[in-house]
Amino acid sequence: MHLKTWLRPAAALLLLLLVACFAAWAADGKPPANRPVDDAWRAALPLDAKVATQAYLDRLSPEAVARSNAYHEGGHWLRLWNWLAGIAVAALLLATKPSTALRDAAQRRLRWRPLADAAYGAFYVAAGWVLTLPLSIYEGFFREHAYGMATQGLGAWFGEQLVSLAVSLVIGALLVALLYAVLRKVGENWWGWATGVALAFMVLGVAVAPVFIEPLFNTYKPVPEGPVKTAVLTMARANGVPVDNVYVFDASRQTTRVSANVSGLFGSAAVRLNDNLLDRSSEAEIRAVMGHEIGHYAMNHIPKSIVMYGVILALGFGLTQWAMRRLLAGRGAAWRLSGPADVASLPLLGAVFSTYLLLATPVFNTISRTQETEADLWGLNLAREPHGEAEVLLKLTEYRKPDPGPVEEFIFYTHPSTRTRIFNAMQWRQQMAQPR
Ligand SMILES: [Zn+2]
């Protein structure tokens, strides 16, 4: 197929994205505030968990709910658009000359095969980045501004995109060189080895990202002096989290979102609170969030999910191997590919594997939701702040649709819905308040 046949549909898509960007640009920014209340309102709430949950949710205005639904549902669609964009890039690379021409040139000039494979890997990352850039700009810049969450100008935002491209180029080149060295050795039955390589990279990535990659975008500092520090570090010490493993980072550089996380592995595992949380939340809310994050840390959620991902990856590579054998038998010659160990079949591997990952979305999300529920309960038991928890959850509706149906929650939600989570907090409040 000739490159020219791709021009017309590509131009049409680009035009569509431009219109979307313009619409986003014209949209109005700031999220509407939730109805404020005081401690007396919270204390007067009925103990009944269902009633109390509804009272919390009723503080969201219809405009706030509509806006939050639109943002979150748009995110579901973007998963699909991103997958489709990836498939289109793979189809373009497979059906036209540049990809195999680059493979041939790299193998001619770079005699050491892993080096040639690394060069192809870098080309693949760069091609995907360039071809999907319009979609990334819409999703990462215009859409975030339309919903009033972005705090960066286009230049600063784009600068960060270039930094993350540089990181992806290095990691992509290394991963591809290693993966194809293994594929050439083991031949047809490569799925188990590919799983091993992917897992090794995942473990390494999770362990070094907080040390080498995240500081490229944000500054991580110890919690500043004050009552919050005392509260947060007391909870950490009581639960076996070393105090120098609690950081605050300047997320407000990029966004207005309130959040926190536990990331890292081995020595780099730590609780990381974002500065929006500290600036926009009461002490009760911060304690609630900290209790949740300590739960992730204390229950070793990261190592546990890596083990579970290993199983999902193994199944995925097994299916990918089966699908690629069939696809290469039928179309391999037309795509000028010699087999699965041919590095120029990487776009095919990427397309098949990304399809599997898309279909596995509910599985990944269920693993995550289960851990989030565990962390919520840990946080309630530790911080004993069901109202603080509920208040933070209301704030998070700025970017999470609060009250989805059960199917939507099962497929798309990495965390339980706001209603479920507030209900759990109110249930805790109700049960713990009962006389024994
Ligand atoms: Zn969490």
**Cα of 159 from ligand 1 centre, angstroms:** 29
**Cα of 135 from ligand 1 centre, angstroms:** 28
**Cα of 269 from ligand 1 centre, angstroms:** 14
**Cα of 390 from ligand 1 centre, angstroms:** 14
184-206 pLDDT, tens per residue? Answer: 998 778 899 989 988 998 999 88
**Cα of 84 from ligand 1 centre, angstroms:** 29
7-44 pLDDT, tens per residue? Answer: 787 888 888 888 877 777 766 567 777 888 999 999 99
**Cα of 381 from ligand 1 centre, angstroms:** 15
Residue of 162 and 264 predicted with greater confidence: 162
Nearest to 103 by CA among 348, 374, 274, 401: 348
Residue 309: is its pLDDT beyond 90? yes
Residue of 378 and 232 predicted with greater confidence: 378
**Cα of 372 from ligand 1 centre, angstroms:** 5
CB 276 within 8 A of CB 255: yes
**Cα of 294 from ligand 1 centre, angstroms:** 9
65-100 pLDDT, tens per residue? Answer: 998 899 899 999 999 999 999 999 999 999 989 999
**Cα of 290 from ligand 1 centre, angstroms:** 10
Residue 239: is its pLDDT beyond 70? yes
The phi, psi pair for 214, rounded to 5°, reads -60, -35
**Cα of 33 from ligand 1 centre, angstroms:** 24
pTM: 0.88
- Residues 206-235 have a mean pLDDT of 88
**Cα of 196 from ligand 1 centre, angstroms:** 27
Specify the pLDDT at position 4.
Answer: 73
- Residue type (1 letter), 307: V
**Cα of 371 from ligand 1 centre, angstroms:** 7
- Residues 121-137 have a mean pLDDT of 94
**Cα of 35 from ligand 1 centre, angstroms:** 25
- Residues 296-309 have a mean pLDDT of 93
**Cα of 246 from ligand 1 centre, angstroms:** 15
Residue 231: is its pLDDT beyond 70? yes
**Cα of 259 from ligand 1 centre, angstroms:** 9
- Residues 264-271 have a mean pLDDT of 83
**Cα of 349 from ligand 1 centre, angstroms:** 32
**Cα of 262 from ligand 1 centre, angstroms:** 8
**Cα of 311 from ligand 1 centre, angstroms:** 22
**Cα of 411 from ligand 1 centre, angstroms:** 18
**Cα of 358 from ligand 1 centre, angstroms:** 22
Nearest to 298 by CA among 379, 209, 392: 379
Specify the pLDDT at position 329.
Answer: 94
